[in-house]
Amino acid sequence: PLPQALYWQLSIFLQGVSSVIGVWFVATAGIPVFLDGNIIDLGVYKLQVAEACSGLRYLFPILSFSYLFSILYRGPLWHKAVLLLSAAPITVFMNSFRIGMIGILVNHYGIEQAEGFLHFFEGWVIFLACVGILFGMAIALQRLTPNPLPLSEAIDLDFDGFGPILARVVSVVATPAMLAAVILSAALSLGWLLFPTADRVVPDRTPFLLFPRQVGTLNGSFESLDPAVAQTLAADDYVSATFEGGGQMPINLFVAYYDNQTEGGGIHSPEVCLPVGGWEMSDLAPYEVSFPDTVYGTFKLNRAIIQKGVNKQLVYYWFEQRGRRFTNDFVTKFAVIFDSWTKGRLDGALVRFVTPIDPEGGEAAADARLKAFMAEALPLLPRFVPE
C-alpha cells in the first residue's frame, strides 16, 4: 500500500476530480445541483463523495490489470504504452460517471439509490466496465495495424512449451552474485527483526476535556466534530473550540492528538482536508514565529489563506511531535519512525489556529490577533500534548 500521507493526498485529489466531473453529469441531465467541496447538493438530498468513493479502490486493481494486459498484448510498443497509461483516466472517468448516475438516480428515486447493495452493485458494474473498455481499446488499436489480429490472438496466452521452460528453473545453478544477494537479503531481514528498539513509552497527559474554557480574556465555546469527520480523523483525543470576547474577531483552536501514529492512526494535513469542505487554499508557506516565554521558543509553522465565497480566513498549523515542530507531513512520518526506535514514542498532534480576515484590518491584523492568542494559549498546551 501507499504511505498513509501519500494515500490521503491522492484520495482527496481524486475525490475532488470525481466530484467535479460527477456534478457535470448531473447538470447535463438537467438537474439543478451545487458542489460544496466534496458535498453534492441536490436540494432535498446531499451526497458526500467519501474516501471510499475516490476511485482508488478501482485504480489499483485496474492499474495491475492493465499492466498484465499490456505485457501479454502482441502489438507495437506504443500500443502497450497506451493500454498501460489509459488505466488511470479510464478509472477516474468511470468513477465520476458512477457518482453522476447515483446523483441522477437519487434525485428521481430517493436516497436508497446511494445505499446498501445497490451502491455496492453499481461499484462492481463500473469496475467490469473499466475492464471492458480496456478490451475495447485493444481491439481498436489492432484495427490501426496493417494486419490486425483477433483479440484471442492479440492477447498472448499460448502455454505450449511452458512445462519444459518451468522445469529448467529447477536446474538453474546459482551464481556467486545470486548467492550473495540472497544471503544479504536474509541478513538484512534478520537484522531488522532483531534490531533492539526502545521500550514503548506512553507519556502522561491531561485529556482535552479539561482544556481551559477561558484563554486570556477570551471565552471558548467547545464543539464536537461531525461523527463522519471524527471517524475519518481517527484521533485519540481532540479539542475544537472557538474563542471570542472583547469585540474582536473569533479565533478557532483545533488540536488532534494521536497515541500511536504507526498503526492506522495518523495525522491528516489541513492542506489535504480543508479543500474537502469547499475551502480554497492559497499562499501556503513556512512562517517563523517566536514565543520566548514558552517552551516552544522560535519555530516555523505553516501559514495559509483559505477562502470559501467571500469568507476569507488566516490559518496557522504545524505538526507537534514529541518536543519538535514540523511543517511537512512526510518529514513528520520519518520522525515518528526514528523516534519509535530511539525514544519508544509514537505520539504526536496536529495544532491549528484559524481566524477571519476582516476587510478593514486585512492579513496584518489577523496575524497580530493569532500571535497574541498563541502567546496565551501555548503555555497551556504541554499538559495536553507532552513534549
pLDDT along the chain (387 residues), means of 10: 68 81 88 80 75 69 86 83 88 86 82 65 78 87 80 68 68 81 89 72 90 92 86 87 90 93 71 72 89 92 88 93 89 86 88 91 91 94 93
So what's the pLDDT on residue 13?
Answer: 79
pTM above 0.85, yes or no: no
Question: Please, what is the angle between helix 116-143 and helix 56-72, to 10°?
Answer: 30
**Cβ of 12: how many Cβ atoms within 10 Å?**
21
At 255 the pLDDT is: 95
- Measured CA to CA, the distance from residue 152 to residue 138 in angstroms comes to 11
Whole-number Å distance between alpha carbons of 123 and 361: 50
- Judge whether 307 and 301 are in contact, CB under 8 Å: no
- Nearest Cα neighbor of 212 from 383, 356, 387 is 383
Residue 243 backbone phi and psi in degrees, to 5 = -105, 130
pLDDT score of 159 = 59
CB 241 within 8 A of CB 377: no
Among candidates 131, 118, 133, 111, which has minimal Cα distance to 40? 111
All cell numbers assigned to 157? 496466452
At residue 135, the 3 state secondary structure works out as helix
State how far the Cα of 244 lies from the Cα of 214, in Å rounded to an integer: 9
- The candidate with the shortest Cα–Cα distance to 302, out of 321, 285, 326, 290, is 285
For helices 4-28 and 87-109, what crossing angle results, to 10°? 50
Q: In terms of C-beta density within 10 A (0-12 exposed, 13-18 middle, 19 or more buried), how is residue 226 classed? A: exposed
- pLDDT value for 262: 77
Query: Coil, strand or helix: which one is 76?
Result: coil
CA atoms within 13 A on the CB side of 242: 9
